[in-house]
Structure 1
Amino acid sequence: MPRKPGITDEYIIRMYKSGLPYKKMVQITGLSDRAIRNVLYKHNIEMNREQSSGQPRKHKVNENFFKSWSHEMAWVLGLLITDGTISQNSIVFSQKDTKILRLIAKFMNADETIYEPTGSRTTSILVINSKTIVKDLESFGIFANKSLNVPFPEVPNEYLPSFVRGIIDGDGWVQKTGYVMNVTTGSKQFAEKLLEIFKSWQLRCEITIEKTKNNKPIYRVWVKGKNDLPKLAKIIYTNIVNDNYVDYKRLRMQVHSNQIKNT
């Protein structure tokens, strides 16, 4: 099995020492678990039995983070649903902006295990190992391989703006000129609930449907209009903590903010 471009021995050792399980290391490196062990043996790295068996090494994290609502939790949950990965033992966040990953780690009191882009992967990732957190996410209906059937969780109204900001930061696209924004999802029920929320905020919005090469539906939830994007920005950029948002998306949504009256 060939090693992916950019994967060095040092990078493999860093991943192993961070506690990343072999299954994830195989996906990232392109190597078999035996080849990974050979790299570790070559550099006299002490082997961890639990990690070798596929169990992630324990790291610091607030395992109660998803048990109660806060604006920080709502934002992180929105990011995870749209742009994260869930496995049996861990959650992984992917972002080009490492500021976002550092904030997630800070809010969750987690070790800052961030991997830079390598090979064909163009984004940085944050890995958090916790079976407890994965179990808590299941109580929201969020499981591994979630993209096509993820539900829209029951978010208290107080925290909806922060949750929607996380959704947009995770998988939203905002036009440079500030006239349109959309969120893409493979889940029909998620798209319909998001549209319902935008309508309740009295925004001009709609859903469009496209098909993938495999003939699977993709739903895009749109907000359109030079007045509507600033209105959306006014709603979601409240209760911000430590600038927890993607900078350029906020700037694009607020391009026409001086043309909208306060409501």
Structure 2
Amino acid sequence: MARIRGMTDEKIIELYKNGLPYEKLCPMVGLSDRAIRNIIKKHGIDRRSTGRPRIHQVNELFFQTWSPEMAWVLGLLLTDGHVSKTNQSIYLSQKDEDLLRKVGILMGAEPVIAKPSGTRTIPMLIINSKIIRADLERLGMTTAKSYTVIFPEVPEAYLPAFIRGVIDGDGWVDRNGYRMNITTASNEFAIGFKAVLERWGLKSTISTIDETATKSIYRVWIKGKYQLLRLANIIYEKCDTNFVVHKRDRMNFHRNSDNSKLIAKFETAEGRVNFRTTINAHLLNQLKQNARYKDMHVNHLLESYIESFLNENTTTVIKTTLRKDRIHFKTTYKKELLNNVRSFAKENGLFINEVIEYSILNSGDS
């Protein structure tokens, strides 16, 4: 394709600045879109965004001034959001479309929400802004942030809102208000998150899940109903409606006396379930001896070991080589405790009987 006579660089730049799209500009000047981009670059002209055109307005200064709302949205985006590699779009994925609309409104936009399609199974909020993208990159949100995102320097006054956003994005809260964790692939982010919790006087631990030989997943934990209640006091104060409802309710579970009565039911036979598995014969024999020594039922002692292991385990779970002489063991367990064992086993790539065995080993009585 040859340049049309009279189409100087200056003329091409003038047409480009007037907003003429490439599909019209190329035949008019006789050059390919790549050649036109080279001219634009050579003369130091700012290129127009090639991303999805923004249909609705957005407050492009939203991330330039700290506020509780800005900090909460930042926490959500650093965990559940991502930026496009090819344009100026920012995306936030959440099952709750109402939450996506709320974020859009806080950002001064009439939300553009993409419905699930193809391999994407949940709705997605789309915000298009070169300025917002640049501000988010300054705050640590890059196109490949999963393993490299840092814990941003958030002013102390806005940390509760930011932590709430992180929990709303990548957090999990036990439905009975005993445990909470956030999951991240960035060790630096995990350490920063844990440091904030500890500055607030909360007991926090980090566990590691080895995903590959070179990359790990980190979970930052808070365990214990009183710890969760204290965290809830901090992050839900004066937060308006900017939170995921079921996570707030689970964290506050033990404020309701009726809920405490519900939990107490699991201490009775009514709330117990039978479960059969195989356990290392030596450990099972040790468990029975300890139960006789303590004048306790075997299953009650085992449950105390399991609860202690689940609540106090602070390091990476490493599979221990045990002798293979496992034998069948059937007893009853509190239903909720058994569900927690199943969850813990799944999270750490273990079998249920291994969790039971490690609980006995971890007890100090074995």
TM-score above 0.5, yes or no: yes
Larger radius of gyration: 2
Could you tell me the TM-score, scaled by structure 1's length? 0.75
| 1:127 paired residue number | 126
| 1:167 paired residue number | 166
| 1:6 paired residue number | none
Matches of 2:254 and 2:143, distance apart in 1? 39
Matches of 1:138 and 1:213, distance apart in 2? 27
* SS of corresponding position for 2:238: coil
| 1:67 paired residue number | 64
Indicate if the aligned counterparts of 2:182 and 2:219 stay in contact, CA closer than 8 A.
yes
Matches of 1:162 and 1:55, distance apart in 2? 31
Matches of 1:159 and 1:95, distance apart in 2? 23
Aligned-partner residue type, residue 63 of structure 2: F
Indicate if the aligned counterparts of 1:227 and 1:257 stay in contact, CA closer than 8 A.
no
The answer to whether 1:86 aligns with 2:83 is yes
Indicate if the aligned counterparts of 1:162 and 1:238 stay in contact, CA closer than 8 A.
no
* SS of corresponding position for 2:146: coil
| 1:234 paired residue number | 233
The answer to whether 1:249 aligns with 2:247 is yes
* SS of corresponding position for 1:158: helix
Q: CA deviation at 1:214?
A: 6.2
Indicate if the aligned counterparts of 1:191 and 1:207 stay in contact, CA closer than 8 A.
yes
| 1:198 paired residue number | 197
Indicate if the aligned counterparts of 2:90 and 2:128 stay in contact, CA closer than 8 A.
yes
Quick one: which of 51, 58, 79 aligns to 2:54? 58
Indicate if the aligned counterparts of 1:151 and 1:187 stay in contact, CA closer than 8 A.
yes
Indicate if the aligned counterparts of 1:171 and 1:184 stay in contact, CA closer than 8 A.
yes
* SS of corresponding position for 1:177: coil
Structure 2 residue runs of 5 or longer lacking an equivalent are 1-46, 258-366
Matches of 1:146 and 1:213, distance apart in 2? 18
Aligned-partner residue type, residue 166 of structure 1: G
Could you tell me the TM-score, scaled by structure 2's length? 0.54
* SS of corresponding position for 1:227: helix
Structure 1 residue runs of 5 or longer lacking an equivalent are 1-49
Aligned-partner residue type, residue 69 of structure 2: E
Matches of 1:229 and 1:180, distance apart in 2? 7
Q: CA deviation at 1:56?
A: 1.9
**Which deviates the most, 197-206 or 207-216?**
207-216
Matches of 2:101 and 2:178, distance apart in 1? 30
Indicate if the aligned counterparts of 2:54 and 2:127 stay in contact, CA closer than 8 A.
no
* SS of corresponding position for 2:225: coil
Moved beyond 3 Å, runs of 4+: none
Indicate if the aligned counterparts of 2:51 and 2:89 stay in contact, CA closer than 8 A.
no
Matches of 2:151 and 2:238, distance apart in 1? 21
Percent of counterpart pairs with the same letter? 49
Aligned-partner residue type, residue 211 of structure 1: D
* SS of corresponding position for 2:139: coil
Q: CA deviation at 1:151?
A: 0.8
Q: CA deviation at 1:141?
A: 2.8
Aligned-partner residue type, residue 176 of structure 2: T
Q: CA deviation at 1:83?
A: 0.5
Matches of 1:177 and 1:215, distance apart in 2? 35
Residues 159, 99 of structure 1: alpha-carbon distance in 2 compared, 3 angstrom cutoff = same
Matches of 2:170 and 2:107, distance apart in 1? 21
Q: CA deviation at 1:78?
A: 0.2
**Aligned Cα root-mean-square deviation (Å):** 1.8
Indicate if the aligned counterparts of 1:185 and 1:219 stay in contact, CA closer than 8 A.
yes
Q: CA deviation at 1:175?
A: 0.8
Indicate if the aligned counterparts of 1:162 and 1:239 stay in contact, CA closer than 8 A.
no
Aligned-partner residue type, residue 74 of structure 1: A
* SS of corresponding position for 1:138: helix
**Which deviates the most, 110-119 or 144-153?**
110-119
Aligned-partner residue type, residue 80 of structure 1: L
Matches of 2:142 and 2:208, distance apart in 1? 24
Indicate if the aligned counterparts of 1:204 and 1:225 stay in contact, CA closer than 8 A.
no
**Which one scores higher on RCO, CA 8 angstroms, separation ≥ 6?**
1
Matches of 2:131 and 2:245, distance apart in 1? 32
| 1:76 paired residue number | 73
Higher helix share: 2
Matches of 1:70 and 1:58, distance apart in 2? 25
**Which deviates the most, 70-79 or 132-141?**
132-141
